[in-house]
Structure 1
């Protein structure tokens, strides 16, 4: 690392502000143009494609982003400022993404830095801590192009930059492939479910309520059960963690509670308030917070319950948004009123082999993704600091 030079980001990049798109033309209804917002950034950086915003008018062409453009968040509405300043890359998926005013576009002003290296540098905690520490605002935090460009770091040669970026990007590519495979597997399972139990439903099947085929266990107010020590505790699963996974500053609760509130990998979790969603939990053991259901059944297969919950999700979201409250939600009676068609036990057994194999593969992939994420997140600060070095054939070697 002795030959690494101290540099400023501003020696290599500029940051272009986005366009103030008119609010009257921004919508949740899918259209040709996707408006990139701070909500499109994962904690820790990287592009997040769920819950997109759309724009209904023709945008200025100079604010249409290109695939693999590097972008940064300039504003963060969360109290933890856990995405402020982090980088992401615009997907190369054929969709049209728009450069919004709260997003910065990274422009490279010379060839002395490798773009992929800078992308990963702007995903380190050291960089993001600097950005948050220099940010302005109270409830809403802001950074600026000058603050970003003032960040100083030790910069290796362009050859080593490419090697470092190659290691990290290779791991990211594997993670992306597994995530794509999971989307395909779940879409296959959902299509089969809809065909078998909706389109090809038989007249003699029994109609039951969703609440009668599964037990919807509501979470607890975990703040009432603070950790008693550093051993007997687990992280608290809230809506945010259900969507994004756990961060380093998540809350913890005592494990001295009823075991039914412990969430394990493979459990069905249903968020019934604010952001409604149904997921099969793929993370570590944790404790179920209020506003979340753990959905279990002693009588019916997990896949059968899961896909019936997903089948009714659009209806639940519609009910939630119709409530004139500050936080939309559904009630128990909405679950009671949702109908399920139940075939014979023999028919369920016949379908279970394929459905279980599809969802089991999803969980296996999630476990592999978790392992790759741990490797990447362990390597990132070590490679960027020079604690680990990468030779020209891509092998990481401990610095002597």
Structure 2
């Protein structure tokens, strides 16, 4: 790759940037090697990496419809790789498909893309809210920290607890988190109060905040607060640390309770924590509302997608 602004499309999304493109937008890629069959829509020019296949000719079909249509095909069933999953386009070509006429394709694409546009807007809005709260944390607790503040340890703020195995849990509505993020939904919670989740194994910088019932697996710590109004502070404090640089593992990045408990924290008077809590709580409340909308819209899109593509649900023209 040469330095540039053109996204390089890999089998799992953008893997870098280059100074020229293979393809003009609108374009569609699917994973050819590694992450098999993942489809991506590219509205602007991009470089198609050799771990992908890209649509060279849409044959007069609506490009965005084709993107959504490809998402309904089980490309993993065409895997011809051994060590690395691999898709051969020549094995896909004979697959017979049924497509609606172009006007209906365009209408279907408009419905699905409007849902995705709203989901994307909510994600970007939440990223902005997160940045606002993070900026406020750094201003109050880093840039404007006072010399007279007392140095304490993380163990003065929280009890660090181990997650537990989830395999015996039936499916349900409670999110189960590992160090890589959300894993599944289970029947019951391990903890139901405000908490900060800290990876024990794997991606050590993937700090999470939770204020709803959850379960964490054994690659994740969760925390019990020892003081009021400190959970959001602890969350941003840990995000501001480079936990990956504190790795004590060899083959697998690892974190220990000893390292966490002894982390020094320059601690202001309690009223500052309360002031911070009052300032960022509306941002967290708005973000939580957005997340609820995202889940609702995602479920609606995922329900509509196969029905629209199979013709079970038709769009009136």
**Structure 1 and Structure 2 fold alike (TM over 0.5):** yes
Out of 339, 363, 377, the position equivalent to 2:288 is 363
Post-superposition CA distance 1:335-375 (Å, at most 9, x none):
13422222112222222222111111111100110000011
**Distance in 1 between residues matched to 2:8 and 2:222, nearest whole Å:** 33
**Distance in 1 between residues matched to 2:172 and 2:309, nearest whole Å:** 35
Inter-CA distance 324–231: structure 2 relative to 1 (3 Å threshold) = closer
Post-superposition CA distance 1:49-73 (Å, at most 9, x none):
6xxx447xx66x354x555431111
The structural deviation recorded for 1:140 is 2.4
The structural deviation recorded for 1:214 is 1.5
Inter-CA distance 115–293: structure 2 relative to 1 (3 Å threshold) = same
Inter-CA distance 109–165: structure 2 relative to 1 (3 Å threshold) = closer
Out of 186, 207, 228, the position equivalent to 1:278 is 207
**Distance in 2 between residues matched to 1:344 and 1:179, nearest whole Å:** 34
Post-superposition CA distance 1:7-61 (Å, at most 9, x none):
xxxxxxxxxxxxxx7xxx9xxxx98676443343xxxxxxxx6xxx447xx66x3
Out of 218, 234, 241, the position equivalent to 1:305 is 234
**Distance in 2 between residues matched to 1:31 and 1:212, nearest whole Å:** 47
Q: How does 1:81-92 map to 2 (within 5 A)?
A: 83-90=35-42
The residue number in structure 2 matching 1:319 is 246
Q: How does 1:311-390 map to 2 (within 5 A)?
A: 311-312=240-241, 314=242, 316-320=243-247, 325-390=250-315
Out of 32, 47, 52, the position equivalent to 1:74 is 32
Kept in 2, the 8 Å contact 1:32–1:54? The answer is no
The residue number in structure 1 matching 2:196 is 268
Kept in 2, the 8 Å contact 1:175–1:369? The answer is yes
The residue number in structure 1 matching 2:220 is 292
Out of 156, 176, 186, the position equivalent to 2:100 is 156
**Distance in 2 between residues matched to 1:380 and 1:33, nearest whole Å:** 30
TM-score, reference length from structure 2? 0.87
**Distance in 2 between residues matched to 1:304 and 1:370, nearest whole Å:** 27
Kept in 2, the 8 Å contact 1:74–1:84? The answer is yes
Kept in 2, the 8 Å contact 1:75–1:84? The answer is yes
Kindly indicate whether residue 148 of structure 2 is the aligned counterpart of residue 200 of structure 1. no
Inter-CA distance 198–238: structure 2 relative to 1 (3 Å threshold) = same
Kept in 2, the 8 Å contact 1:108–1:115? The answer is no
The structural deviation recorded for 1:281 is 4.6
Larger RCO (CA under 8 A, 6+ residues apart): 1
Q: Secondary structure at the match of 1:389?
A: coil
Inter-CA distance 288–31: structure 2 relative to 1 (3 Å threshold) = farther
Kindly indicate whether residue 57 of structure 2 is the aligned counterpart of residue 100 of structure 1. no
Q: Secondary structure at the match of 2:314?
A: strand
Kindly indicate whether residue 66 of structure 2 is the aligned counterpart of residue 118 of structure 1. yes
The structural deviation recorded for 1:153 is 2.0
Post-superposition CA distance 1:76-119 (Å, at most 9, x none):
3xxxxxx5212112375xxx9643221222222532x1111110
Post-superposition CA distance 1:229-269 (Å, at most 9, x none):
x58896643334x1xx45xxx586x75xxx6x2468x6432
Structure 2: stretches of 5+ with no match in the other structure: none
TM-score, reference length from structure 1? 0.70
Q: Secondary structure at the match of 1:222?
A: coil
Over the residues paired in the alignment, what is the CA RMSD in angstroms?
A: 3.0
**Distance in 2 between residues matched to 1:103 and 1:183, nearest whole Å:** 29
Kept in 1, the 8 Å contact 2:154–2:260? The answer is yes
The residue number in structure 2 matching 1:218 is 162
Out of 120, 123, 132, the position equivalent to 1:179 is 123
Q: Secondary structure at the match of 2:298?
A: helix
Out of 158, 178, 181, the position equivalent to 1:238 is 178
Kept in 2, the 8 Å contact 1:263–1:288? The answer is no
**Distance in 2 between residues matched to 1:157 and 1:170, nearest whole Å:** 20
**Distance in 2 between residues matched to 1:122 and 1:183, nearest whole Å:** 29
Kept in 1, the 8 Å contact 2:78–2:92? The answer is no
